[in-house]
Amino acid sequence: MNCGYKFRQTIPESRRVVIKIGSRVIVGRTGRPDNSRISAVVTQLAKMHREGYELMVVSSGSIAAGMEALKLPQRPMAVPDIQMCAAVGQGRLMARYSEYFDKEKIMVGQMLLTHDDFEHKIRLANMRRTMDHMLQARIIPIINENDVVADEELKAYMSLGDNDHLASLVARQVRADLLIMLSTTDGLRAPIKGGRTVRVPHVEKIDRSIMKLVRPPEGESLSKGGMDSKLRAAQACTKAGCNVVVANGRKKDVLLNVISGCDEGTLFMASPD
């Protein structure tokens, strides 16, 4: 299906797609991973996989899964406590993904990365080779930041921004055609009269006027990314020639709508320098 939205006519032609899943997309109000939400996302990914798309998933949620297992009422603030939650939760999060993808008869593999992996030539080459080999074998990489060892990132207020920056790094390194960032917002919003806001359907170039639309992220207990980090991630990707869509991951069939070229979320159009 192609929705025919004029600014998105090339989106269905994308072959290599990175999907970033924010914490709040798959975590319920209780702070625990919501199996029904994970299942809904996997069902869409499975359909895309069967249609021939090469998919890589960057998923947050390990800390929330660890909080659930450890019965913590709220997200801890101390770095060692956060790392403990990530250590306990990552395996549990991956087990959920494996369970639902197994039902679709699709193999997945786990990759835990840090910012340093992208700055070390040998590690970067190994990472690229592994990803390419997995995609050739029709295995979907499930990628997350390795919070257990990412001490500096955690100390710097989780500098990868709820995996927004990590997803951008992955998309650029594998030369993805499209990065879809799933959040709990319908995309970038612009103010209108009466103190209301309206969704921005597409952005041709992320400049100062676009950055000014972003409000500072409010205090979050589960996720650490806001629209500001998504804009910075999108800016890096679009400059590298990759289209980016930010959309509401809780909406029914949102991934299928995006990949069909429908007017869903906000499209940040590739604009290489």
Domain positions in the chain: 6-268
Tens place of pLDDT per residue across the chain (273 aa): 456 677 898 899 999 999 999 988 998 877 788 999 999 999 999 999 999 999 999 999 998 899 999 999 888 888 889 899 999 999 999 999 999 999 999 999 999 998 889 999 999 999 999 999 999 999 999 999 887 776 655 544 344 456 899 999 999 999 999 999 999 999 999 888 888 889 999 999 998 889 888 855 454 444 445 888 899 999 999 999 999 999 999 999 999 999 999 999 999 999 877
- Contact (CB, 8 A) for 181 and 248: no
Q: Using CA atoms in the order 202, 204, 209, 215, what is the torsion angle rounded to 10 degrees?
A: 40
The verdict on pTM exceeding 0.75 is yes
Q: Which CATH class, in words, describes the domain spanning 6-268?
A: alpha beta
Q: What pLDDT sits at residue 6?
A: 74
Q: What pLDDT sits at residue 75?
A: 85
- Contact (CB, 8 A) for 232 and 166: no
Q: Helix/strand/coil (H, E, C) string of the chain? A: CCCCCHHHCCHHHCCEEEEEECHHHHECCCCCECHHHHHHHHHHHHHHHHCCCEEEEEECCHHHHHHHHHCCCCCCCCHHHHHHHHHHHHHHHHHHHHHHHHHCCCCEEEEEECHHHHCCHHHHHHHHHHHHHHHHCCCEEEEEECCCCCHHHHHCCCCCCCCHHHHHHHHHHCCCCEEEEEECCCCCEEECHHHCEEECCEECCCCHHHHCCCCCCCCCCCCCCCHHHHHHHHHHHHHCCCEEEEEECCCCCHHHHHHCCCCCCEEECCCCC
- Contact (CB, 8 A) for 133 and 125: no
Q: What pLDDT sits at residue 221?
A: 44
